[in-house]
């Protein structure tokens, strides 16, 4: 491909997005560049602290449980308090909790603080996604979510490599560096990101309906998407929970697993942007059907893997599904979310992934122990097929993207009309309270009586 074509493609990929998006993107990248603790936590507990693998698994589960607990609460905060305050609270709390975790020695204290870290770190996700939906035009959202997902994976790839070197020097240094970089993210949000939450004012304009968690739960169409998201997430989670166990049981070394799973991060960094350029104007519902099937059968093919090379090929298949699914799924959630309920809707969507992160280790462990790894990969293929069929059925009731975008623009216009009405009302009130000039040729300065 000519260099000029590559440059033009890169320019088109990043052009047209608002400055606020890039500050939010930068915050995401810095946060992921400092995500050391998740990478070496199990090694820290088993090798440095001498705890059992079972205890390390318990701590990981409590960390995931914290994310489940905070998902809905953070969504409510995002809508009530605003995107910016929620981000600041989440990132400041994460920085403090991660630093505190590095100084904990008692097993109960470690488990308790790990739970707090899971709560705090997961609380920022609904706010980030809602703010991104607020500040980016509807036609650019898939591209924006894709760029954000690319930043997450680029940061994770770099931090994963750096975590090993930092752990050799000092595990405590890893905790403190992550806390410091998370604090930097909070500073970026405080200095560079204004509040983006749409404002609804009761000024005689159209009234925006209230959105509560009950509204989300009663939205059958959206809850169908959340359920399918959970199924797909359950499959993707097997890359980090089922695959290493299955490869270990088959006699492969941790280094072999590392080589196979590294393909996932490399492909996402290399292909995320060009694939997004290819899919961004295509029907998201069909893309979700295809990505669900690719994910299921990509993991299903693992049953036939007998070498590191074949394992890597299966990783290529489900990674392509991940590249397509992640921005498309997030964009669909935004399309189905009312403007003034984006935080709650994103919180429910985040909950589907948090619950999957809890269920997936239990599922993989039970299936492998009782039936063998081949049954796990067959189950993944079945779950992917069910998810694909589910999306195909939902396609009949989901509105077209253009229709949903029109509804979103209309709702945002209500907020704009309300603000305009408030401004006109304020000007009129000021005019009523301004004394009339006594002489046309020498008017007195206007003085507000209020």
pLDDT tens digit string along 220-265?
Answer: 889 999 999 999 999 998 887 788 888 888 888 877 887 888 888 8
Q: Do 132 and 148 meet the contact criterion of CB atoms below 8 Å apart?
A: yes
Query: Is-contact 321 291, C-beta < 8 A?
Result: yes
Structure tokens belonging to residue 359: 């269920």
CA distances for 271 relative to 121, 263, 275, 324, 385, angstroms: 27, 11, 6, 10, 24
pLDDT at 440: 36
pLDDT for res 387? 95
- pTM of the entire predicted model: 0.74
Query: Most distant CA pair in the chain: distance in Å?
Result: 98
Name the stretches of the chain with pLDDT < 70: 1-7, 9-10, 39, 200-210, 397-450
pLDDT of residue 306: 86
Q: What is the pLDDT of residues 14-30, one digit of tens each?
A: 778 899 999 999 998 89
pLDDT at res. 89: 94
Q: With CA atoms as reference, report the closest residue to 77 among 313, 265, 346, 263.
A: 346
């Amino acid at each position: 491909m000519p260099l000029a074509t590559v440059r033009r493609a890169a320019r088109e990929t990043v052009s047209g997005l608002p400055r606020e998006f890039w500050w939010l993107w930068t915050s995401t990248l810095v946060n992921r560049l400092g995500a050391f603790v998740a990478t070496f936590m199990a090694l820290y507990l088993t090798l440095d602290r001498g705890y059992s693998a079972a205890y390390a698994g318990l701590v990981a589960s409590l960390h995931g449980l914290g994310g489940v607990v905070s998902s809905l609460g953070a969504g409510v905060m995002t809508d009530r308090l605003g995107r910016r305050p929620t981000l600041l609270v989440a990132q400041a709390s994460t920085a403090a909790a991660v630093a505190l975790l590095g100084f904990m020695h008692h097993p109960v204290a470690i488990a308790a603080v790990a739970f707090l870290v899971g709560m705090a770190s997961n609380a920022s996700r609904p706010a980030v996604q809602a703010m991104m939906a607020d500040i980016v035009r509807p036609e650019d959202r898939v591209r924006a979510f894709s760029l954000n997902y690319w930043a997450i994976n680029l940061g994770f790839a770099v931090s994963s490599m750096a975590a090993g070197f930092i752990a050799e020097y000092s595990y405590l240094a890893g905790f403190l560096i992550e806390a410091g970089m998370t604090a930097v993210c909070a500073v970026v949000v405080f200095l560079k990101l204004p509040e983006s939450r749409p404002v609804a004012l009761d000024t005689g304009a159209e009234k925006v309906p209230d959105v509560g968690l009950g509204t989300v739960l009663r939205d059958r169409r959206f809850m169908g998407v959340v359920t399918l998201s959970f199924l797909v997430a359950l499959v993707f989670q097997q890359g980090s929970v089922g695959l290493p166990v299955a490869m270990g049981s088959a006699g492969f070394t941790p280094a072999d697993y590392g080589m196979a799973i590294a393909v996932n991060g490399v492909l996402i960094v290399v292909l995320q942007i060009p694939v997004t350029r290819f899919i961004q104007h295509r029907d998201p519902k069909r893309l979700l059907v295809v990505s669900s099937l690719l994910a299921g059968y990509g993991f299903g093919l693992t049953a036939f893997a007998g070498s590191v090379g074949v394992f890597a090929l299966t990783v290529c298949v489900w990674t392509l599904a991940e590249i397509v699914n992640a921005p498309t799924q997030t964009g669909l959630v935004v399309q189905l979310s009312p403007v003034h309920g984006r935080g709650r809707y994103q919180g429910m969507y985040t909950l589907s992934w948090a619950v999957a992160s809890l269920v997936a280790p239990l599922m993989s462990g039970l299936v492998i122990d009782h039936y063998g790894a081949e049954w796990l990969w067959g189950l993944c293929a079945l779950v992917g097929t069910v998810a694909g069929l589910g999306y195909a059925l939902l396609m009949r009731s989901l509105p077209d993207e253009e229709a949903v975008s029109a509804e979103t623009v209309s709702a945002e216009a209500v907020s704009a009309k309300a603000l305009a009405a408030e401004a006109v009302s304020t000007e009129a009130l000021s005019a009523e309270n301004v004394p009339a000039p006594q002489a046309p040729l020498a008017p007195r300065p206007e003085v507000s009586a209020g």
